[in-house]
């Protein structure tokens, strides 16, 4: 058993509490990882707000991390102690019907199908003050050590700087991949990105990499526009500057609407605005932002009847265990610069300050 620090969420709506926890050794098919760095993602904020119906408290959040294998359980062959790894919040078991489908990046072991509050044998490896603590998406990167099933861990290049590539565990591939995989943005096309936080900026990078000629960033926080332009946005607009709905503004700017739109916020009204802003026949709208579970979106069916495509994406459409090591290699080859997404670096003791910065849009 390893004793270490972890940021524990004891209840919905409460700040995280940095505690000493005990982390049990890995059982068969499991890997214990020393987490070196983790990002704070809005999904962690959704967890703290209680938007996930099937997450049990107390829980150790965090799902965007990178670390080093400390030990492995019986039968583990893909990683060994000392390997650098990224934990995968979307597993790839390699055996279910989705994993076997080359066009799918989903896995039936994922949280949308089966809760990931406990490891596959329905027990936890975390205890604190004598209490069982739940896992989050099996990865719980807000702990200095964590235990993860082997098929939710990807071995990466030993040269990778863990404090930078931790973003490749969720935020960056989600946005970058949304443009490249589900949307399949074509060269010369026009795109609109609703919300240019870390994931939205990654969508901008993906649209640029795919050859889009016009990328319109939409956000109410104008402080984000300088970075959006630096990464490839050609226009930046705030809905607060217009009297008319933003979809009408985008349609006027582009003639018949954009070719591709991306909603990277997670609000019902911006989802319908993003859908209406792409052209009525061949436009593709990709839902990247997360709405609270049980939310309902109402829309005019004509938006779809005329031919628009509306689709969602998980983790940018990448088969995580196959693709994350390749993305890390692309990062090392400087094919993209995800470092620009890093605004602050804090010790784990200041994790609540990190959430304050997130809520403030900083």
CA distance 32 to 181: 31
293 and 322 belong to one structural domain: no
Closest CA to 112 of 134, 95, 89, 78: 89
Query: 122's torsion region: left (phi>0), alpha (psi -120 to 50) or beta?
Result: left
CA distance 141 to 7: 9
67 and 153 belong to one structural domain: yes
301 and 350 belong to one structural domain: no
pLDDT tens-digit series, residues 316-342: 999 999 999 999 999 999 999 999 999
159 and 217 belong to one structural domain: no
Cα torsion for 268, 269, 274, 279, to the nearest 10°? 120
Which pTM does this prediction carry? 0.95
131 phi/psi in degrees, rounded to 5: -105, 145
Burial of 69 (0-12, 13-18, 19+ CB in 10 A): buried
Closest CA to 247 of 295, 200, 279: 279
Q: What SS3 state is found at 66? A: strand
Would residue 177 count as lying in a domain? no
Q: What SS3 state is found at 156? A: coil
Would residue 64 count as lying in a domain? yes
Would residue 213 count as lying in a domain? yes
List Cβ<8 Å contacts ≥24 apart for 8-11: 8/58, 8/59, 8/60, 8/128, 8/133, 9/47, 9/48, 9/57, 9/58, 9/59, 9/60, 9/61, 10/57, 10/58, 11/57, 11/58
Tokens in use for 362? 């900083």
Would residue 118 count as lying in a domain? yes
Would you give per-residue pLDDT tens digits along the chain (362 residues)? 999 999 999 999 999 999 999 999 999 999 999 999 999 999 999 999 988 878 999 999 999 999 999 999 999 999 999 999 999 999 999 999 999 999 999 999 998 888 999 999 999 999 999 999 999 999 999 999 999 999 999 999 999 999 999 999 999 999 999 999 999 999 999 999 999 999 999 999 999 999 999 999 999 999 999 999 999 999 999 999 999 999 999 999 999 999 999 999 999 999 999 999 999 999 999 999 988 878 899 999 999 999 999 999 999 999 999 999 999 999 999 999 999 999 999 999 999 999 999 999 88
217 and 281 belong to one structural domain: yes
Specify the pLDDT at position 344. 96
Specify the pLDDT at position 277. 98
Q: Which CATH number covers residue 130? A: 3.90.180.10
CA distance 14 to 287: 29
pLDDT tens-digit series, residues 104-115: 999 999 988 889
Pair 117, 58: CB distance under 8 Å: no
CA distance 313 to 326: 19
288 and 274 belong to one structural domain: yes
Domain interval for residue 287: 183-312
Specify the pLDDT at position 53. 75
135 and 188 belong to one structural domain: no
308 and 232 belong to one structural domain: yes
Domain count, the chain: 2
């Amino acid at each position: 058993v390893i004793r270490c620090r972890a940021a524990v969420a004891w209840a919905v709506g409460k700040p995280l509490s940095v505690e000493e926890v005990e982390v049990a050794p890995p059982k068969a098919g499991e890997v214990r990882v020393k987490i070196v760095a983790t990002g704070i993602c809005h999904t962690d904020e959704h967890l703290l707000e209680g938007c996930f119906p099937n997450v049990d408290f107390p829980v150790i959040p965090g799902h965007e991390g990178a670390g080093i294998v400390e030990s492995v359980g019986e039968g583990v062959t893909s990683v060994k102690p000392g390997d650098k790894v990224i934990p995968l919040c979307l597993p790839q078991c390699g055996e279910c019907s989705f994993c076997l489908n080359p066009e799918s990046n989903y896995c039936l072991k994922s949280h949308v199908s089966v809760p990931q509050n406990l490891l596959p044998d329905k027990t936890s490896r975390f205890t604190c003050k004598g209490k069982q603590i739940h896992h989050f998406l099996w990865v719980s990167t807000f702990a200095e050590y964590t235990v993860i099933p082997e098929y939710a861990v990807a071995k990466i290049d030993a040269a990778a700087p863990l404090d930078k590539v931790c973003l490749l565990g969720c935020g960056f591939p989600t946005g970058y991949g949304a443009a490249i995989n589900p949307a399949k943005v074509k060269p010369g096309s026009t795109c609109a990105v609703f919300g240019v936080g870390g994931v939205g900026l990654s969508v901008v990078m993906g649209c640029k990499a795919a050859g889009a000629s016009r990328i319109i960033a939409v956000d109410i926080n104008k402080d984000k526009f300088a970075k959006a332009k630096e990464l490839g946005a050609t226009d930046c607009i705030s809905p607060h500057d217009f009297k008319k709905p933003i979809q009408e503004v985008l349609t006027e700017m582009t003639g018949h609407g954009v070719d591709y739109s991306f909603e990277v916020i997670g609000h019902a009204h911006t989802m319908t605005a993003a859908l209406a802003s792409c052209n009525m026949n061949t436009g593709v709208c990709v839902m990247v932002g997360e709405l609270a579970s049980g939310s309902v979106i109402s829309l005019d069916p004509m938006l779809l009847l005329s031919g628009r495509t509306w689709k969602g994406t998980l983790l940018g459409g990448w088969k995580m265990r196959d693709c994350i090591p390749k993305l890390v290699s692309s990062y090392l080859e400087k094919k993209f610069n995800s470092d620009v997404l890093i605004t602050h670096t804090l010790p784990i003791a200041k994790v609540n300050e990190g959430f304050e910065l997130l809520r403030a849009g900083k």
